[in-house]
Amino acid sequence: MVLGSGSPPGVRRAVVGLAALVLVVAPLLLGWHWAKLGWRDKHYNYPGTPTGYTQIVNRFGQPCSADAHAISMSWPAADNGVTYTFSFHKKLGGYPTEMVANKGGLSTNLDNDVYGHIQNKHLSQYTKSGIWGYYCRYIDGTTSWSTHAFGIAVDISASYEPQGQCYSTVNTNFASIFKNHRWRWGLDFCDPMHFQYAYGY
């Protein structure tokens, strides 16, 4: 039914009221559901997403520094049953929450908020084998530092989303969660496994 100007005012008011109720109540119900599962989206102390090499260094320090791999987390792959453990920068996680132990990190970004969203929206079925974070290494074929060397990049589902592929088969199901938490998806440059907390690099 289309609510045009011909609809009775009572019906219109009821529909608008119902919509408002859903808009208010649905997030509360979702929050309650997630809290029951032991997780809350915190959005605590996110650093600004840097643009370009200089801002990356100013915000996260030198590549291969101790801070770049200060926090670690485990991430199970849905297809092969392997749980990958990788590390990342202390400014992107490791802050204590209901779900994350105190690891000396400074924010809730990756291990609580992004990971929690993926788990609690039942999207973990799409995170597949080949999951990596920090590594002190250059970009392939260059002598320029990869964002992985700063601990601000994660590769997910590498087996399914090879570099050079300009479309996505599985990561597309949760990429919006990364993007909503200030990450850039590598699909922009045909690297769909790759998520990085930086632009212009």
Partner 1 sequence: MKRALATAIGLGLGVVVALGLLAAVGRTAEPRFPHGAPIGPVMRPDTGAGEMLLLVVGGTYPTQADAEAANAQMPFADLAGYYVVPVDQFLGFRELVGDVGDYALVSAFRTEQGAQDFASFAQSFGYPATILPERVQSLGGVYAGLGQEPNAAGTGPLTHPIAASLP
Between 64 and 78, whose beta carbon lies closer to partner 1? 64
The distance of Cα 128 from the centroid of its chain, to the nearest Å, equals 15
Asked if residue 66 binds partner 1 (CB under 8 A), the reply is yes
Helix, strand or coil, per DSSP, at residue 194: strand
CB of 34 to partner 1, least distance (A): 32
Size of the site for partner 1 (CB under 8 A): 40
Q: How far is 99 from 113, CA to CA, in rounded Å? A: 10
Q: Which of 64, 103, 119, 123 binds partner 1 (CB under 8 A)?
A: 64
> Which H or E element spans position 154?
strand 153-155
Nearest alpha carbon to residue 89 among 134, 146, 156, 130: 134
Between 38 and 200, whose beta carbon lies closer to partner 1? 200
CB of 122 to partner 1, least distance (A): 27
> In the chain, what's the furthest Cα-to-Cα distance?
69
CB of 88 to partner 1, least distance (A): 15
Between 50 and 116, whose beta carbon lies closer to partner 1? 50
Return the range that interacts with partner 1 (CB under 8 A); candidates 19-27, 32-40, 109-117, 188-196.
188-196
Residues numbered 136 to 165 that lie near partner 1 (CB under 8 A) are 136-146, 148-149, 155, 158, 162-163
Q: How far is 37 from 5, CA to CA, in rounded Å? A: 45
Asked if residue 62 binds partner 1 (CB under 8 A), the reply is yes
CB of 153 to partner 1, least distance (A): 8
Exposure class string for 27-61: b at 16+ Cβ within 10 A, else e: eeeeeeebeeeebbbbeeebbebbeebebbeebbb
Asked if residue 83 binds partner 1 (CB under 8 A), the reply is no
DSSP secondary structure letter of residue 129: S
Q: How far is 177 from 3, CA to CA, in rounded Å? A: 34
The distance of Cα 89 from the centroid of its chain, to the nearest Å, equals 14
Asked if residue 81 binds partner 1 (CB under 8 A), the reply is no
Asked if residue 32 binds partner 1 (CB under 8 A), the reply is no
The residues binding partner 1 (CB under 8 A) are 52-53, 56, 61-67, 130, 132, 135-146, 148-149, 155, 158, 162-163, 186, 188-191, 193-194, 199-201
